[in-house]
Structure 1
Amino acid sequence: MAGHEAPHWKIEDLEFSRIARDEVRQDENLFYLVASASFIESGSDLYTQNLVDFFRGDDEVTEWLTHHWEAEELQHGKALRAYVAHVWPEFDWETAYRGFLEEYATYCKVELLAPTRGLEMTARCVVETGTATYYRAMARSTAEPVLRDLASRIAADEVSHYKHFYRFFRRYRDEERLSRFRVLGTIGRRTLELKSEDADCAIRHVARTRSPERAGDTAFVEQLSARLNSTVRTNLSAGATLKMLMRPLELPAGVQTMIQYPVRQFMEHVFLR
């Protein structure tokens, strides 16, 4: 019916029994992509509380964060964890995640958010662009049907979250009279942080449990990180990513066309690093 959102997908909708285990079990790269993502998504409640505190008093935002965004992010974590358990049952997810969470909690602080609510909504748009890009790339990087389905569902959720943050951003931009220059500064800074300590922290803790003999090998973890970045970059949907990234600037069409190339170069630099 018009005006009613379709019900959100459930983990039960995923047919784990159809996983082509033999095809993916030996794919170490895929294991790290899925396992590290499952950690970050499962820690979403820590981050949500910071945002709820930051936007307290704005009921529309805090209610959506609490009842929709957090629930969907945590569901992503559960679904990705279930996939890991089906394909790599020997991986001690719980122990590895506990270590990750202990460190990750130190990164989730209100003081690390942007200086104003409008700029924080800008930053949220960048983060959702990054996560949608990551899951689109994950879906493209594998022929395994169940993971393709799961990654595509998560990517669609991240695009939906982006639309909400963008709508909130526009309201705050008008209230705070934010200039394009300030918005651009936040987009640039937050894009450089996309491959942030969150992802490195997750990869490190997955590696610590997966390959304990190499836990202290910094070069090994850096290699892993570079491999995952390369997978994302190779399967990057550059056009869609650029469009999402630049949208908060609301540039005239001519200007947008003019700056597309340097922005694309910047994005490639981010995923190449």
Structure 2
Amino acid sequence: MKAMASRDGVVKAGADDWAGIGQSLDAHGNAVLPGLLTAGQCDELAALYPRDDGYRTRIVMARHGFGRGEYKYFAYPLPPLLDQLRHALYPWLAPIANRWNRLLKLATQYPLDLDAFFRRCHEAGQTRPTPLILQYDEGDYNCLHQDLYGDHVFPLQVAILLSEPGKDFTGGEFVMTERSNKSQRADVVALRQGDAVVFTVHQRPAPPIGSRRRGIRKVAMRHGVSRIRSGRRHTVGLIFHDAR
């Protein structure tokens, strides 16, 4: 897959790149977008974390049983780079989401324009922004979970690693699990600074197991972060549905 460096939110990837991303999502429930941000862009975003302005709320994970660490939800208006990335990625992801829903025999289809999807969310009372920035220190971790904030849920989201593994922190791997009937599997996704991972929010379609089985399986997905062994790790999460 070609590099996907972004300048001012312009995602430089063509149809061939996205065909590969779709294939990885179909097979594994996740796909890596290498070099989505530069090191400078990552550092600029991470430097926003200590500020008090620009956020709607701060969550200390241990207080809610989410793990250890903390995160902040951005307020509207989002930082321009995050707003532009959200709008640039969504039109590529919506066709994948729509194809998945057809395979799962779900009636919901998503508009190809992000602002049109926001209108759908807001009409249902989901008006709060969901993009967030997470900070983990030594010993912190994120329990396996799903980011569901209301009736209108977009089935894919994006996490961008802002810190450099091996330099800024050790440990802290992005982890996904999938469960279908009695089958369970874990997947560790290796990321470098500036890489993003697109992944399943809730569930995805998967082919049947075994040559005699037919039809599509519904696979439940969860994601989390393993324990930070040293240093500090920052990540940005781009969720495409707003919250109640």
Shared fold per TM-score greater than 0.5 = no
Which structure has the larger Rg over C-alpha atoms? Answer: 1
Whose RCO is larger (CA < 8 A, sep 6+)? 2
Which one has a larger percent helix, Structure 1 or Structure 2?
1
Which one has a larger percent strand, Structure 1 or Structure 2?
2
Give the structure-1-normalised TM-score. Answer: 0.28
